[in-house]
Amino acid sequence: MSILVTGGAGFIGSNFILDWLGQSAEPVINLDALTYAGNLENLARLEGDPRHRFVRGDIGDADLLARLLREHRPRAILHFAAESHVDRSIHGPEAFIQTNCVGAFRLLQAALAYWEGLAGAERAAFRFLHVSTDEVYGSLAPDAPPFREGDRYAPNSPYSASKAASDHLVRAYHHTYGLPTLTTNCSNNYGPFQFPEKLIPLVLHNALSGLPLPIYGDGLQVRDWLYVADHCTALRRVLEAGRTGEVYNIGGGHEMANLDLVHALCEVLDARRPRADGRSYREQIAFVADRPGHDRRYAIDAARIRQELGWRPAESFRSGLEKTVAWYLAHADWSAHVTSGAYRAWVGLHYGEAA
């Protein structure tokens, strides 16, 4: 048996593969286009491991998908591959439509054809797990209850709209064709290997480089923070025991304003890597113009996955943040390669021009 993971060189996908192969002998076929946020350095410890087969390719390539499914006969597809940065979606939405909508459609088509060709126990056991985001639900008022699985979709950015479209496609393929799908909608992830366009690694990189720590608007936008390793255990549990056709919200249960998060991050850095002048990294905070359509608050009600599947996050926000800072401080070479362009040059040399 094996599983097929799309986007397995990205932040959450690579963490999932490392977690999976840390606990299982079941092989992983890792399909990733190696766009700017895909990084094979994330998976360096798996070099030479026969359980990990990396394939560079696009989820929009129907012929490649059909060949991989035919050759490897995976018992599950876990779909992580996505364009995911809201700011990039505002300035260049077309890539988000192509990957998150058209790519998801092509992957569903390939999965359906493959599943319909299975028989008996293989057909009954097959699962298609679609990894999505809480942003599809829109923005919450300060006193509103957290997002639940049945809440109305109200996406407010090209990114969240494209993910909402893919969620609806997954639902449709289950209800129309019977494809055994599972969908998860997660809150903001953080942890090792996150590309430094997202808030926590961006602040870490800028703080250590003596650069301003940019905060949109008044910094009071609230997010629910989920340590990536906890997300991985939740996905394993949904794949193992989730009811087909269902949606499971995955959240860390740690709501925090962006400004408070940056203050907490500065506090950890002040203790672990003090500035040479003895001052706090907080002095580098700089407020910048808010981005268009910035959602004010997200929060996840994770009651379903807790009650049905027995999952709870293992990390508190503080423990997860301490682990995250420790990882980035210990892996300065990874951040340097990503931010300097050295990694992209390596991809170009070994794989040709990046997609």
Which listed residue (58, 134, 167, 255) is catalytic? 134
Q: What is the mean pLDDT of residues 293-297?
A: 92
Which of 103, 222, 106, 100 is closest to 161 using CA atoms?
100
For residue 349, the model assigns a pLDDT of 63
In percent, the amount of the chain with pLDDT more than 90 equals 88
Q: Which residue has the higher pLDDT, 341 or 199?
A: 199
For residue 197, the model assigns a pLDDT of 82
Q: What is the mean pLDDT of residues 30-48?
A: 93
In percent, the amount of the chain with pLDDT more than 70 equals 96
Q: Could you tell me the pTM of the whole model?
A: 0.94
Using pLDDT thresholds of 50, 70 and 90, give the confidence band for residue 91: confident
What are residue 78's DSSP bridge partners?
Answer: 5, 129
Query: Is residue 101's pLDDT more than 80?
Result: yes
Distance CA(166)–CA(105), nearest Å, equals 7
Radius of gyration in angstroms for the set of CA atoms belonging to the chain, rounded to a whole number: 20
Q: Are 286 and 223 in contact (CB under 8 A)?
A: no
Using pLDDT thresholds of 50, 70 and 90, give the confidence band for residue 344: low
* Phi, psi angles (nearest 5°) of residue 93: -70, -20
Query: Is residue 352's pLDDT more than 70?
Result: no
For residue 94, the model assigns a pLDDT of 95
Q: Which residue has the higher pLDDT, 344 or 172?
A: 172
Domain ranges of the chain: 3-190+227-254+299-316+341-351
Which listed residue (114, 137, 159, 343) is catalytic? 159
* 176-203 residue pLDDT tens: 999 999 999 999 999 999 988 889 999 9
Residue with tokens 């990990």: 52
Whether 122 is a known active-site residue: answer no
- Would you say the C-alpha torsion 336, 341, 342, 347 has a positive or negative sign? positive
For residue 355, the model assigns a pLDDT of 32
Pairing mode of beta strands 285-288, 213-216: parallel
Whether 134 is a known active-site residue: answer yes
The CATH class that applies to domain 3-190+227-254+299-316+341-351 reads alpha beta
Query: Is residue 342's pLDDT more than 90?
Result: no
Q: What is the mean pLDDT of residues 207-228?
A: 95
Q: What integer best gives the mean pLDDT of the chain?
A: 94
Distance CA(159)–CA(82), nearest Å, equals 9
For residue 348, the model assigns a pLDDT of 61
Using pLDDT thresholds of 50, 70 and 90, give the confidence band for residue 77: very high
Which listed residue (32, 58, 83, 135) is catalytic? 135
Distance CA(180)–CA(126), nearest Å, equals 7
Query: Is residue 230's pLDDT more than 50?
Result: yes
Q: What is the mean pLDDT of residues 81-96?
A: 90
Q: What is the mean pLDDT of residues 134-148?
A: 96
Whether 227 is a known active-site residue: answer no
Distance CA(156)–CA(148), nearest Å, equals 18
